[in-house]
């Protein structure tokens, strides 16, 4: 059984002293490929460097490159040129993390929208999929996407945490949905449980968002999340979809591989055991 983690913040300081060990635990758990999340130009460049340093095969680690809405105030015309260069690298498989965050508003909303539109323009021009962030802004995000959607090869709403109305709005636009350990959180994630059956095969992908969003169903509870714990997200989503672990792993992995254009990986003995 193979899994693909479509969103991991491997550049986070908490991983710095144990990168190789974290990846080894992920591979042993069946997480055979990982997409590192770029949240700023600096983090995107660092993610690219980690892909090259930690994956001699060139088949297991990939990344996105983009500017998160929290960082949107820093967006300039020079940002677009720098991002374009990053997006030309073979390990970079999507534009993002980009989008709108009207929950925290760390950047003014007009700045968020400007940075998002610039990145969508690049994605359409370069024919790359988009890795989207959205908090309390689904209606505005769909309004902006409407002008770009026909020109984009694909887009995923990463770490989906919203309601049925938002989910159906995204699915109506032929967007993909990323599910994290949020679904394992008994305090705030239970509303996602009945929505899992509504996401069609071919639109659903799984992600850890590590070191954030540790699945609260883990016992004993570790201090930080890591990609190896994606199996916990798999189990929770499978339970609410009425699928076996193997069924869910198969179609979400196939979906992620197609979305990001990732190469096939031969299953290891450890992966066949899981």
What are the tens digits of pLDDT across the range 87-146? 999 999 999 999 999 999 999 999 999 999 999 999 999 999 999 999 999 999 999 999
pTM score, whole prediction: 0.96
pLDDT value at position 119? 98
pLDDT value at position 269? 53
pLDDT value at position 270? 52
Which among 110, 111, 157 is positioned nearest to 135, based on CA atoms?
157
pLDDT value at position 271? 47
The predicted model gives 189-207 an average pLDDT of 98
């Amino acid at each position: 059984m193979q899994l693909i983690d479509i969103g991991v913040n491997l550049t986070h300081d908490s991983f710095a002293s144990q990168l190789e060990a974290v990846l080894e635990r992920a591979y042993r758990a069946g997480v055979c490929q990982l997409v590192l999340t770029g949240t700023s130009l600096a983090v995107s460049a660092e993610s690219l460097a980690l892909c090259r340093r930690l994956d001699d095969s060139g088949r297991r680690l990939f990344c996105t490159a983009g500017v998160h809405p929290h960082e949107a105030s820093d967006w300039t015309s020079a940002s677009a040129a720098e991002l374009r260069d990053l997006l030309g690298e073979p390990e970079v498989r999507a534009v993002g993390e980009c989008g709108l965050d009207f929950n925290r508003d760390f950047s003014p909303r007009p700045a968020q929208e400007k940075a998002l539109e610039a990145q969508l323009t690049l994605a359409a021009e370069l024919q790359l999929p988009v890795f989207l962030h959205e908090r309390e802004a689904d209606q505005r995000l769909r309004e902006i996407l409407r002008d770009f959607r026909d020109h984009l090869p694909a887009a995923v709403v990463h770490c989906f945490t919203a309601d049925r109305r938002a989910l159906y709005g995204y699915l109506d636009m032929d967007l993909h949905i990323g599910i994290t350990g949020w679904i394992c959180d008994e305090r705030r994630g239970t509303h996602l449980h009945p929505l899992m059956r509504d996401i069609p095969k071919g639109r659903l992908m799984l992600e850890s968002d590590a070191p954030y969003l540790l699945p609260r169903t883990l016992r004993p509870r570790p201090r930080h999340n890591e990609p190896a714990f994606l199996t916990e997200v798999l189990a929770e989503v499978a339970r609410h979809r009425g699928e076996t672990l193997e069924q869910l792993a198969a179609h979400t992995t196939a979906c992620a591989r197609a979305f990001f254009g990732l190469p096939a990986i031969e299953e290891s003995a450890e992966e066949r055991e899981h």
